[in-house]
Amino acid sequence: MYDGKGYLHFNYKASELAPKEKAARVSLENALNKIANIPAAERTFENTLLAYEEALDTYGDALGQAGFLAYVSTDEKLRNAALEQAQIISAYMVEVATRRDIYKAFKELESLKPNLPKIEAKMLKDTMIGFKKSGLALDDEKLEQFKEIAKQKSINSINFSKNIRDYKDYLDVTEEEMEGLPEDFKNKLEKVNGKYRVTLDYPDYGPFMLNAIKDEPRKILEYKYSRRGGKENVKIFEDTLMLRYKSARLLGYKNHAENRLDVRMAKNVKTVNNFLKDLEKKLKPLAKKEQKEFLKLKEQHTGVKSKVLQPWESGYWINLHKKLNYNIDPEIIKEYFQTDIVIKNMFEIFGNLFSVEFKEVKIPVWHESVKSYAVTDEETKKVLGYIYMDLFPRDGKYKHAACFDLVEGKLLKDGTYQKPFTAIVANLNPPSKNTPSLLKHGEVETLFHEFGHVLHNVLTEAKYSSISGTAVSQDFVEVPSQILENWAWEPTVLKRISKHYKTGKSLDDETINKMLAAKNHAAANFYLRQNFLAQIDMKYHTLTKPADTTTMWEKYAAKIKLTPMTKDTYPQASFDHLMGGYDAGYYGYLWAEVIAQDFFSEFQKHGLFNKEIGKKFRKEILAVGGSYDEEELVQNFLGRKISNEPFLKHIGLATNQK
């Protein structure tokens, strides 16, 4: 995993992955057998639970960053080999998690009722719940069924993501059809037979859908975009829904959602549905009011009267409405946000707030465009961990923006702390011949968001790897990322991170005021869409029999949100969240945002750059990871229960609810 200097290395060969895994598996089996053979009366936290965790860590470390390279390597052979190994490892982990002898060992430890400290007691409790959810309370026959289902689910998830990543389609458009697109956008596109090639990658797709004046090219591109993953992914998804249901029933739950939720803050489907329905009720009137404005604008410009905006036109008319009413052009604003300058100042702002420093260092990376940074504690001057930034698109690379936890922080046997390594992988606009990498303000928000996850990982002080960094309840994990987005809207921050790539000037006060005035433009439509995605996720994962998920999407899109689904498309085939860990969990974005905005209200009260509040947030939220229940984390930081008023205020809704 490490090179000779304590840094990660990424120089893997496809041919070495399988032998490494086999050797690591032998070592893991030996360690597990040793744990299983300890006499019942001699069991302790250290020789059972901690030994189990360390054995799994050692196995995971043996393949180093090969799994991560499946998402970012330029070597197709290595990517495919890493994906193949990921499938093998995932299937093997099902076997490990369902070993009867290991479960028996933990039952023996539990029966001794050890007098454990709070953190260790929570770990034992959570581990026992995990074993039960792995099917170990089942009889042998049902356990075998459960294991086979788990293996197939894992394979399905990997193939689903691969199908999206490998999906290739594009639209070749003429100069005339590029009307409305800025020159820097056109300059970075590949030209084929005299036409511009617009791919389905978001740096191409997003700007085109927002700015292309002609309707037909947008209609064709949106159709292609909404078919990503193909019908193969529709089948994989629908098969997986039934596999998840069968697993839940074997464990004694009514459906998959109930199985997933009982260990989260929300606890059950009823709570989630009430939360989402209440928010939908509040959003609908404002969203309808917004839609009337957009439809009116379309009629004024085209003479066409419509009842709804179609998916291929909503982005364009919403964007034009914003430009005309707030005199803000995202393409012009973008010229002020140079990626390097945004990142430099982001480091300084949050470094000061959380008492750390970020310094670029030359350590091994997986691609020449990747930059790496050491994170140093302001007071002790000790290096806490390392950050990588892989920000621009390339073939075979992960298509979205995400934070990857490469090495968890944890206390080692020799008393030292294992330094965490974490990476932001994104697909921002790359530099061109004439311009540096420039960010739309929404992309600045995304960068701040992912940096919140990075800080959660790299500033951890958690004692054990299983509770380190972002290892918290899934409906809490987005809190640190969502709270950081708020600083991307602060006037002093906007001044600081902006510098026009030609003039060198920061954003002026008038422009910033316009941006703030437009901050909640179409917010109700945005949050209603998020609400729809969360509700359709719940609908899918409370299914008890096979269903046509495309028809369900179409039905609930018409019912909940204001933009219908394009005919003959299947958006669920590229909804990677539902196959990549957010199944019955997409509501968590909204749930966590309520918490994040309440947390942010403390900074608003005491000062947005108040180092004492920053230190408190670092200590009570970022440093502890999953050491304590999330309700306790909230209480420790706020000194009270959560209020939804700051969230409602944040999105422009009345705050008369208590």
Active site residues: 450
Q: Helix 202-211 to helix 311-326 angle, to the nearest 10 degrees?
A: 70
CA distance 104 to 52: 13
Matching residue, tokens 């180092």: 611
CA distance 427 to 201: 8
* Residue 393 burial class via C-beta count within 10 angstroms: exposed 0-12, middle 13-18, buried 19 and up: middle
The CA-to-CA distance between both ends of the chain, in Å, stands at 51
Task: List the structure tokens of 194.
Answer: 């005299």
Order the strands of the 402-407 sheet from edge to edge: 356-361, 371-377, 383-390, 421-425, 402-407
Measured from the Cβ of residue 108, the count of other Cβ atoms closer than 10 Å reads: 16
Matching residue, tokens 């992955």: 17
CA distance 164 to 167: 5
CB-based burial, 399-423: b 16+ in 10 Å, e otherwise: bebebbbbbbbbeeeeeebebbbbb
Measured from the Cβ of residue 628, the count of other Cβ atoms closer than 10 Å reads: 17
Length of the chain in terms of residues written: 658
| Residue 300 host element (H or E) | helix 269-302
